[in-house]
């Protein structure tokens, strides 16, 4: 591919769709024509791209004629229905839902982790879950030093992971509580303001929720390590849009803290945040609206001879979703996909 491209964004009016537009513009993606697609409820509205108003069209099976790249952020059901139609029309699809992530014929890719896998695509490339992206951007430099054999991870996930309505709910509940009113719940099952709770996805037969099992399966797929041990605990916290993760790993050989920090300092997509004197380490407020994953608190796991512990934060809407999708589109137009 070369030159200017016709790009479709499906789910353009949602929180991730809006971030995709911003990423395309800020990164100078060569968009010749933008097709803004959404549900029938949003058809006729306008979105702004490069200071121009673009009318939103209803997402249908006929939306992709002449489209080169289709960036989907419309939910798994719509992706399953319309992504194959986009491929039939000649587009390459980057899908942000879980619809195709574990399909063995669909590559699941983070450019800083496994860019070579994108070459295997048959028209669809899957964007991983936000928690998996943030974790693996932090862990890949360490995995390259010595293969990771076991991961224990606890996540602190922002409201944005449940969509724009959940973000609005956090704002609204905070105001209601500060005003002495009873907080109203709609987007999330429990009060999110001044509270936290186990991730709101369904609990599976093994006692882990679906969000946790995404981290297990997606990590194994991207690192090509089907026997990798992963024990996640996912928690929703009252933060607007950046996820945090406390990660403990065990590796094939002992990697020193110094060696780990050096690798992280050089790693693409990572910013090492370590100031022990000021007790200043990665925080969601600093990761918000940043492209990089912030990593710090790098230390020995004192319970394991070959273990390290670290803390990571990343913007769920950016690197956890929209930015990664646009980076995959960049790989495609560079001929790497």
User: 264-270: long-range contacts (C-beta < 8 A, 24 or more apart)?
Assistant: 264/138, 264/141, 264/142, 264/295, 264/298, 266/141, 267/112, 267/137, 267/140, 267/141, 268/111, 268/112, 269/111, 269/112, 269/137, 269/293, 269/319, 270/112, 270/137, 270/138, 270/141, 270/294, 270/295
The verdict on whether 243 is a catalytic residue reads: yes
- For 66: left if phi > 0, alpha if psi spans -120 to 50, otherwise beta; the answer is left
Distance CA 310, CA 245 (A): 8
Residue 184 token pair = 């109203």
User: 31-35: long-range contacts (C-beta < 8 A, 24 or more apart)?
Assistant: 31/4, 31/5, 31/6, 31/7, 32/3, 32/4, 32/5, 32/6, 33/4, 33/6, 33/7, 34/6, 34/7, 34/8, 34/9, 35/6, 35/7, 35/8, 35/9, 35/63, 35/64, 35/67
User: How far from each other are the two terminal CA atoms of the chain, in whole angstroms?
Assistant: 10
Please tell me which residue in 143, 199, 243, 313 is annotated as part of the active site.
Answer: 243
Residue 204: count other Cβ atoms within 10 Å of its Cβ.
11
Distance CA 113, CA 128 (A): 11
Please tell me which residue in 23, 121, 130, 313 is annotated as part of the active site.
Answer: 130
Residue 335 token pair = 């001929």
Alpha-helical regions (H) of the chain: 15-26, 76-88, 130-145, 164-178, 210-223, 257-266, 284-287, 323-333
| Catalytic residue IDs | 130, 243
């Amino acid at each position: 591919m070369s030159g200017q491209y016709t790009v479709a964004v499906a789910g353009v009016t949602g929180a991730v769709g809006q971030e995709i537009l911003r990423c395309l513009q800020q990164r100078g993606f060569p968009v010749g024509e933008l097709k803004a697609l959404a549900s029938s409820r949003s058809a006729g509205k306008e979105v702004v791209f490069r200071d121009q108003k673009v009318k939103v069209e209803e997402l249908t099976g006929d939306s992709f004629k002449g489209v080169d790249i289709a960036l989907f952020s419309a939910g798994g059901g719509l992706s399953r229905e319309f992504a194959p139609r986009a491929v039939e029309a000649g587009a390459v699809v980057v899908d942000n839902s879980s619809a195709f992530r574990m399909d063995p014929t669909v590559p699941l890719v983070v450019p800083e982790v496994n860019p070579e896998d994108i070459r295997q695509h048959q028209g669809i490339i899957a964007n991983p879950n936000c928690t998996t992206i943030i974790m693996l951007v932090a862990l890949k430099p360490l995995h390259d030093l010595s293969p990771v054999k076991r991961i224990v991870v606890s996540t602190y996930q922002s409201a944005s992971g449940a969509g724009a309505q959940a973000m609005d709910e956090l704002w609204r509940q905070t105001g209601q509580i500060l005003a002495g009113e009873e907080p109203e719940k709609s987007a999330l099952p429990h009060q999110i303001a001044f509270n936290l709770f186990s991730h709101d996805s369904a609990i599976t037969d093994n006692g882990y929720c679906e969000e946790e099992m995404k981290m297990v399966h997606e990590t194994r797929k991207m690192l090509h390590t089907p026997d990798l041990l992963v024990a996640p605990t996912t928690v929703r916290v009252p933060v607007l849009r950046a996820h945090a993760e406390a990660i403990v790993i065990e590796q094939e050989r002992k990697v020193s803290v110094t060696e780990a920090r050096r690798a992280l300092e050089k790693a693409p997509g990572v910013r090492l945040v370590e100031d022990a004197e000021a007790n200043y380490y990665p925080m969601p407020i600093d990761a918000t609206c940043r492209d990089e994953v912030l990593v710090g608190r790098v230390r020995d796991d004192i319970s394991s001879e070959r273990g390290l512990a670290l803390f990571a934060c990343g913007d769920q809407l950016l690197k956890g979703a929209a930015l990664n999708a646009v980076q995959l589109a960049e790989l495609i137009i560079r001929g790497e996909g």
